[in-house]
Amino acid sequence: MRTREEVIKYCQSLKEVYEDYPFHDSNWTVMRCQGNKKMFACIYERGEHIWVNVKVTPEWIDFWRNAWPSVVPAYHMNKNHWNSLILDGIIPEEDIKRMILESYDLVKPKGKKQKTININKK
């Protein structure tokens, strides 16, 4: 996976996702969840490569940064919760997809909370 189009196509394969351009800059594509409008991937060109910012749990953030030199603290994002993936051919496609999916899972709308009824009320 090396192109913006490939990343967008993969993101759109996930449930209830849409493409957005909130910065009025065609270089920045944001992929969002429909239910809550939260972003899970920011896709942009920087230097000569496509970069993808993905959300990561704090316990996994260093794992991914240490696994691949093309996973770095996120450009223009909170470095404690986001990584940038540089699509230069170093990160295997399976790992790119896994990180995008994990980001999606972190922000997608959760199921409706069930209200509990206390039948012992007096």
Q: CA 99 to CA 3: how far, in whole Å? A: 16
- Which tens digit of pLDDT belongs to each residue from 1-17? 999 999 999 999 999 99
Q: CA 8 to CA 106: how far, in whole Å? A: 18
Strands 29-33 and 17-20: antiparallel
The CA distances from residue 60 to 9, 29, 36, 65, in Å, are 25, 24, 24, 9
- Which tens digit of pLDDT belongs to each residue from 19-54? 999 998 999 999 999 999 999 999 999 999 999 999
